[in-house]
Structure 1
Amino acid sequence: MIAMTEPAIIKLAQAIAELVRPANDAAPPQINTARNVTIALAATKTGLSEKAIRRKIESGVWIEGREWTRAIDGGIYIDMEGYDRWVGKAVASKSAKIVSG
């Protein structure tokens, strides 16, 4: 058995850490999704439930061609840029009410 001093153990641990550290410490790559996404993915991205999204479509809160679109096969896709504009309007109207209130 080899006797090692504390500084020697620390140096050895640092050397091992250097060997096992990944070569690239950069953050993992981000995957950007399409502008128009399924209701399921939109629910994940927005925090709204799928049911809430469907209700916004059915009740006319979200307008076809603005917040959502229908594909050739009949599938419904949420326009994430349209969603962002919709949220921005809600935030802007709340801010206006606070300022004028």
Structure 2
Amino acid sequence: MSSHGASSRGLSRTGSPANLQPIRFVTLKQFEALTGYTVDVVNSKIERGDWPEGAVFFKAPDGRNLIDLEGYEEWVMHGKAASGQLHRAASQ
């Protein structure tokens, strides 16, 4: 395989990690692996309204809930807030 071809992971060998964009939205299972919050706990937080849609989680076009890691980080740092206020509070 040449140094200019794609690796088995689909990334160019000539690209550097600095060219990679961090993942912002993750599935509940990915979120569980990253944070230890189980899928059941996440679903409970969503159902109770602790994590408002559009702030900590988003509904994907296919209907799945995705966690916004930026919104989650703001929730950790600033606590419970109404939908949309988490992003505004962090930018002030």
What TM-score comes out, normalization by structure 2 length?
Answer: 0.60
Shift of 1:44: 1.1
| Code of the aligned partner of 2:25 | N
RMSD: 1.7
Structure 2 residue aligned with 1:35, among 24, 41, 44? 24
Q: Which runs of structure 1 show a deviation greater than 4 angstroms over 4 or more consecutive aligned residues? A: none
| Code of the aligned partner of 1:41 | Q
Structure 2 residue aligned with 1:86, among 58, 75, 80? 75
The aligned counterpart of 2:82 is: none
Q: 1:56 to 1:67 in 2, by over 3 A?
A: same
Structure 2 residue aligned with 1:67, among 56, 62, 67? 56
The aligned counterpart of 1:19 is: none
Provide the C-alpha distance between the structure 2 equivalents of 1:64 and 1:49, rounded to a whole number of angstroms: 18
Number of aligned residues: 61
* Aligned-pair identity (%): 38
Q: Which has the higher helix share?
A: 1
Check if 1:55 corresponds to 2:44. yes
Where do 5+ consecutive residues of structure 2 fail to align? 1-16, 80-92
| Code of the aligned partner of 2:71 | G
Q: 1:57 to 1:81 in 2, by over 3 A?
A: same
Correspondences of 1:9-48 after superposition (within 5 Å): 34-48=23-37
